[in-house]
Amino acid sequence: MKWKRSERLVDMTQYMIEHPHKLIPLTYFASLYQSAKSSISEDLTIIKETFEERGRGLLITVPGAAGGVKFIPTMTSEDVNEIAQSLIEQLSKADRLLPGGYLYMTDLLGNPSLMNKVGKIFASSFAHEKIDAIMTVATKGISIAHAIARHLNVPVVVVRRDSKVTEGPTVSINYVSGSARRIQTMVLSKRSMEKGQRVLITDDFMKVGGTINGMKNLLEEFNCELAGIAVLVEADHEGEQLVDEYLSLIKLREVNEKDGTIVLTEGNYFEKGGNNDESSNNN
Amino acid sequence: MKWKRSERLVDMTQYMIEHPHKLIPLTYFASLYQSAKSSISEDLTIIKETFEERGRGLLITVPGAAGGVKFIPTMTSEDVNEIAQSLIEQLSKADRLLPGGYLYMTDLLGNPSLMNKVGKIFASSFAHEKIDAIMTVATKGISIAHAIARHLNVPVVVVRRDSKVTEGPTVSINYVSGSARRIQTMVLSKRSMEKGQRVLITDDFMKVGGTINGMKNLLEEFNCELAGIAVLVEADHEGEQLVDEYLSLIKLREVNEKDGTIVLTEGNYFEKGGNNDESSNNN
């Protein structure tokens, strides 16, 4: 079957969006569509220009025999702003307040469309870093970790509180949970990482940073390197902060259980210019 | 800015893939691209024909003032076969065998590209059912649940083994875990579901079905309805099966710890014709 340009554009767009950060040889498309490589190159120029004009992603062309094209998802700062504002609005509702000043966020973490956006925000921030895996701790960070991982095309590694038979041999460490200063344990399957990997740590919530710090210690046990830390919500608190280099999308400034008020602002993503990408929405 | 057809095709394809099962009014595209509705309709016809010819998805047009267009992801049976065969091959490796005859699957569950495909397979199977939420139990089912949920555009509800302060008030039930016949507990935040919702239950592994049965009981406590059950791997076993109506992608037939042999076949998805969709890959 001979493909028309319009059909190729639709099919290639779908393929590239479903395979981010994957180098696709031009010959793959040429043989799939039975088209000349020159036509495929022209198609890719149209796709590239459309993606970049709208700030939806970059199309990187790698020349040479082992070359091809790679789709890097990006977000415009307008989109990131909109998502952060919507999160602040949703998280500010008084009925989210739980005893102890915690916020109910489980519904947001279970919303796949929202998580997809959050994952894309952080994936854009780390798009130009070498990342081999995303690490999080069970349970609530898993949806964010998978969303980031999908946009970076790398595996997710889930640290657990307890060892299970289905994990095989594990490495276990003790760490001090931040605010309560309790000794806790975290375990990770020995098979889950290889020496020398660069790992992005993520979680839904960070206060003092005890859990994140525990994961950092675990990385050392595996002789892996920290590539970055990304949290959805960080909470202001008194006393020492255990983690210094991190990116947060939202900041919880104040919780007043008595009045039921919750004060949230933008996280340090907006100070640090978390969006590495130069393209912006030009229309 | 005036958009060319080729640019609209790329941008619309991306938008629809990122918003499955969402009704998009034609006026949304018409105003975004400053184009006549008739041009948008022609664009949609090209996208629809391309998606359907390749078996990548359906484009459903809903007429009328409250109408629009909806993208329903589908998989061709060739693609489903290929994924199942690749899973069988990977899971058959002797080094996956753990004490007690368990299989190490954590790496596959942490692979976002594979999970995306598995999610799309099950989402296609249930594309024409009314589904309000996907339910799973922590920890290992979460990646599958989110992958299905994303393709169906519905929230994920995660049942836990223990109650945590961040979940707010919970409903707790006891259930009998299948093979070991131990009494276990599962808890779910009261806020996570509303009465009358239709819920698809999913998990990575099912033997006797005790855990899935526990989730079914939990649905009753919430006055919700079971819409279906989808498991990645089901295991053959002696004795009573607690769950009858389910879809499995892979079947674990036999595990011999002494020889290190693992026998896997296709799951009942292939007998039941899990692929609801009529379209197939025609090129």
At A83-132, the pLDDT tens digits run 999 999 999 999 999 988 889 999 999 999 999 999 999 999 999 999 99
Q: Where are the alpha helices (DSSP H) in A134-243?
A: 142-152, 210-221
CATH number of A5-73: 2.40.10.10, 1.10.10.10, 2.40.50.140, 1.20.1250.20? Answer: 1.10.10.10
pLDDT tens track for B28-80: 999 999 999 999 999 999 999 999 999 999 999 999 888 999 999 999 999 99
| Assembly ipTM | 0.95
pLDDT at A228: 98
Residues in B closer than 8 angstroms to A158, CB to CB, are: 106, 110, 139
Q: Which of A88-92, A165-169, A242-246, B178-182 has the highest mean pLDDT?
A: A88-92
The pLDDT score that the predictor gives to residue B276 is 53
B272 Cβ under 8 Å from any chain A Cβ: no
Residue A278: the pLDDT is: 44
Q: A13, B14: Cβ pair inside 8 Å?
A: yes
Burial A5-17 (b: 16+ CB within 10 A, else e): bbbbbbbbbbbbb
Residue in A with minimal Cα distance to B117: A18
Select from B50, B118, B137, B189 the residue whose CB has the most chain A CBs within 10 Å, as the one to mutate to test that interface: B50
| Chain B residues 80-109 with a CB less than 8 Å from chain A | 98-100, 102-107
Task: Provide the percentage of residues in chain B whose pLDDT is more than 70.
Answer: 96
Q: What is the mean pLDDT of chain A?
A: 93
Look at the alpha carbons of B159, B163, B167, B169 in this order and tell me if their dihedral is positive or negative: positive
The answer, for A50 touching chain B at a CB cutoff of 8 Å, is yes
What integer pLDDT is reported at residue A265 of this predicted model? 98
Length of chain A: 283
Query: Are the C-beta atoms of A105 and A205 separated by less than 8 Å?
Result: yes
- At B9-25, the pLDDT tens digits run 999 999 999 999 999 99
Please check the confidence at residue B265 and state whether its pLDDT lies above 50.
yes
Between A118 and B283, where is the model more confident? A118
pLDDT value, residue B224: 98
Between B223 and A177, name the one with better pLDDT.
Answer: B223
CA angle B138, B143, B144 (to 5 degrees): 100
pTM (2 decimals)? 0.95
With CA atoms as reference, the chain B residue closest to A120 would be B18
* Distance of alpha carbon A8 from alpha carbon B49, whole angstroms: 12
Give kind and range of the element (H or E) at residue A57.
Answer: strand A57-62
How confident is the model over B185-208, as pLDDT tens digits? 999 999 999 999 999 999 999 999
Give dist(CA A163, CA A171) in Å, integer: 9
Q: So where are chain B's domains?
A: 5-73, 77-270
A174, pLDDT greater than 60 = yes
What pLDDT, in 10s, does the model give residues A224-268?
A: 999 999 999 999 988 888 898 999 999 999 999 889 899 999 999
- The count of CB pairs under 8 A between chains A and B is 169
On whether the B77-270 domain is CATH 3.40.50.2020, my answer is yes
Does residue B87 have a pLDDT over 50? yes
From the CA of B57, how many Å to the nearest CA of chain A? 11
Q: pLDDT for A176-199, tens place per residue?
A: 887 677 899 999 999 999 999 999
Compare B279 and A29 and report the one with higher pLDDT.
Answer: A29
Distance CA A22, CA A272 (A): 28
